[in-house]
Copies of this chain bind each other. A is one copy, B any other.
Amino acid sequence: MSDNILRKVIKEIEEYKPGKNPETKDVIKLASNENPFGPSPKALKAIEEEANNLQIYPNQKATRLRQALAKKFDVNQNQIIAGNGSDDIMQIIAATFLCPQEEVIFPEKTFSVYNLVAKIFEGKIAASALKENEISLKNIASAITDKTKIIFIANPNNPTGTIFTQNEFDDFLKMVPKKTLVVIDEAYAEFVESQDYPDTIKHVRDGKKNLIILRTFSKFYGLAGLRVGYGIASEELIAPMMKVKMPFNVSRLAQAGAAAALDDLLFLEKTYQNNVAGKKFLYESLDKLGLSYKKTESNFIFVDVKQNADALFLKLIGQKIIIRPLTSFGFSEAIRVSIGNAEQNKKLISAMRKVLG
């Protein structure tokens, strides 16, 4: 019965495959790029205080949080929208701008929610080819047609952790027609070490009207469970998105916790330094194991395991380590490992040594 009343496009949607959560305390999860130090302590304190007001509806416009973000990024608060995770903002973007049959471009083998929101709004999906498993802005640019409405690109890319540079991005942006929206998903921006990482927000400051930058509190700030993401774009784009979003999309605890996390400088510095050190340790260890991997600008590493990733995933579960096999992304012989704390990284390598035998 329900098949008759279901929208046709919905039948093509597959359920999202999340990283597996541990069932016991002794299992280490390095599958979802979560912060090994837990949530920001300043966020926790703000959440505890704000909880006493939970009977009251949230501020519909997330005013305090947007003001804090505006200050941080030197933009106007009307150039910012907050969401129930950046997934929510991706959906709001499609709801606001995507008409049925308009084209949505994103690189193949990437974060699956771009595909989900494009399907929901009946976009025509064009997956652009990778080049050596990395995003090719040239391939994306050459896929643009006069029907292209939205381009979603993650930078750093998920699941490879690689980036495109400022020059590459600036050149690319010039090739995009004004009526095509470029959405850059910078979920992992705070982990980047490279000096070539693009400052995309300067284009918003400079008046660029078809660019949206997405950021999140899920990774660097340790707040994946709280659900807060945000978008930065011209007021012309943000204003209609504010009308389309569900009125109370960001909870009181999310608004208060996220605003507080922005100021948690000690926690953020510890998170950054741990990632730099963990990356170095994992590179050296993977080299010793004879595994090739992508140099990462993120808090995870893409490892080419040259064997069935799902089978390796199960073997590592046997060692009480959860990693992410990239089969659902379209890489059947690669895994993504989150960079943990020093102890977790050591246990990961020792488990891999065992199961790779």
Whether a CB of chain B sits under 8 angstroms from the CB of A214 is no
Q: Give, as a whole number of angstroms, the nearest-CB distance from A146 to chain B.
A: 13
Cβ contact of A242, chosen from B8, B15, B29, B50, cutoff 8 A:
B15
Which one of A92-100, A162-170, A192-200, A345-353 is at the interface? A92-100
Q: Are A246 and B56 in contact (CB under 8 A)?
A: no
Within 8 A of B (CB), among A114-171: 116, 120, 149
Interface of chain A, helix or strand or loop or mixed? loop
Residues of B within 8 A of A87 (CB): 246-249
Whether a CB of chain B sits under 8 angstroms from the CB of A225 is yes
Cβ contact of A39, chosen from B10, B54, B88, cutoff 8 A:
B54
- Chain B residue at smallest Cβ distance from A98: B7
- Chain B residue at smallest Cβ distance from A11: B240
Copies in the complex: 2
- Chain B residue at smallest Cβ distance from A7: B99
Cβ contact of A240, chosen from B2, B16, B91, cutoff 8 A:
B2
Q: Are B5 and A179 in contact (CB under 8 A)?
A: yes
Cβ contact of A246, chosen from B10, B113, B225, B243, cutoff 8 A:
B113
In angstroms, Cα B84 to Cα A225, docked, is 13
Q: Are B120 and A244 in contact (CB under 8 A)?
A: yes
Q: Are A226 and B54 in contact (CB under 8 A)?
A: yes
Q: Are A181 and B55 in contact (CB under 8 A)?
A: no
Interface string of A227-259 (1 = CB under 8 A from B): 100000010110110111011110111100100
Additional 8 contacts, C-beta under 8 A, given A54-B226, A57-B224: A1-B178, A1-B210, A1-B236, A7-B96, A10-B95, A38-B52, A55-B223, A84-B227
- A residues contacting B by CB (< 8 A) are 1-2, 4-8, 10-11, 13-16, 18-19, 21, 29, 32, 34-39, 43-44, 47-48, 50-60, 84-85, 87-88, 91, 95-100, 113, 116, 120, 149, 178-179, 181, 209-210, 218, 222-227, 234, 236-237, 239-240, 242-244, 246-249, 251-254, 257
